[in-house]
Homo-oligomer: A and B are copies of this chain.
């Protein structure tokens, strides 16, 4: 961003990022989840007593997680360190070095866990006007994540790339472990055909695939067509893959400091290995949300950042929390219909949309507010000169002050209505702290799975819809599903 700019709220360049580390950490303040603040809708602080049942139970879960980390479906926990990091980061940087200088556009083809992390990192750590800036101002490609098969959107993005940079300066990053996800496969088939027609034999140079390193349909395609690939590591599920090449390649292409991201994740992992509940942020977060969710009638979990840049991290969180914990059966096979409904909101914006409901509607939510201490902009003050008495109080204040005053006021108002809430505080929004945030929620999810006694790593309920789609789309072997759908949804008179 040009430095002359508008004199107000422009990014500061006068700080040495590195000198901030070890930086002030992400903090969680949970006082407003306690009965002292929100009455019977909160937890008694005794309940969190270090010598109590809950804290002792958590300590044993921490031991259990220490023993399973890096194995089975807990392999994601090693992504930010050790062998996996050593294998991934140099390979990513090498590919970025090859592709970044000549790329005007980067188009990610992926959905769910192959898109949400990419979108969240970009939105958190790049300027909101990124795609509007010139090649020179950006210093990296525009990013488009095609996480749907909406034909209008797919068409508009491809059309834009054709006329801005052209296909030869557009890298398509297809992300699919199996290659059989219908949405991503369809997009890929369209783009492969398009590139072959437009770029001729060398089309494969514009495709970077992130897929299973050994098996599956996409692997087979990559081997046959000669695409360069990065791995979806074995044992890393989609919703836990943002710190693998799945999330890191597009981030690094756009200039995000992936080392700082992984360092932040690592720093949080350290903290979350502490057996003491009161010193383990992920364990505390999971304990609060599970206890309030299951014992205080609060199954709806709102995440409400007071920062536009963090809003789409709430979409990433939505998948993690919903898909991991929303389970019909527990590990013993008993029907439990577990899970919490994650809801994303944005402060201050949603104060003018949702806070009426959050304060006066059903008391069925826990609100997670996110606060940013330092937005990293020059603190230009709101100017005087308007001369209107009712607005004088704003003169000389900054937008940062207003943002944080509104957050604090909302916290107060929620307490007055006995609505439990907590605050996650970012000292500032940078790769390190975003890495901390990601690891915090991933580990909290693994704790919550254990606390609910469910499998946090499967998603059995997604299968039926996939099969029904195959049936409706005429895939051989799935005919019975088409019959079932057509019978089940036969036209009725119940429409107007």
Contact = CB atoms under 8 A, between A and B. Distances in A.
Contact of A393 (B112, B364, B380, B470): B470
Interface stretch (A90-98, A188-196, A257-265): A188-196
A270 interface: no
A399 B469 contact: no
Interface residues of A, number: 163
Interface stretch (A68-76, A207-215, A344-352): A344-352
A153 B405 CA distance: 18
Contacts of A27: 495-496
Contacts of A400: 151
Interface in A342-360: 343, 346-349, 351-360
Given A356-B323, A410-B465, A152 B127 contact: yes
A411 B490 CA distance: 12
Nearest to A402: B149
B394 A473 contact: yes
A390 B348 contact: no
A422 to B, nearest CB: 9
A202 interface: no
A494 B413 contact: no
Interface stretch (A13-21, A52-60, A160-168): A160-168
A415 B488 contact: yes
Given A341-B364, A352-B113, A473-B401, A323 B357 contact: yes
A496 B461 contact: no
A363 to B, nearest CB: 7
B393 A468 contact: no
A307 interface: yes
Contacts of A331: none
Interface string A170-190: 000000000111110110011
Contacts of A196: 385
A121 interface: no
Interface in A182-239: 182-183, 185-186, 189-190, 192-194, 196, 217, 220-221, 238
Given A364-B299, A365-B341, A403-B149, A391 B319 contact: no
Given A323-B357, A337-B362, A340-B361, 15 more contacts: A1-B159, A5-B159, A11-B152, A148-B308, A148-B348, A152-B377, A186-B399, A190-B380, A217-B390, A238-B352, A325-B361, A328-B360, A341-B357, A409-B466, A413-B461
17 contacts: A1-B159, A8-B155, A29-B492, A116-B353, A148-B349, A152-B309, A180-B390, A183-B352, A186-B397, A189-B386, A279-B496, A319-B352, A322-B353, A326-B358, A397-B474, A409-B466, A409-B472
In the A-B complex, the 6 residue pairs with the smallest Cβ-Cβ separation, listed nearest first, are A112-B352, A326-B357, A9-B155, A339-B361, A409-B468, A326-B361
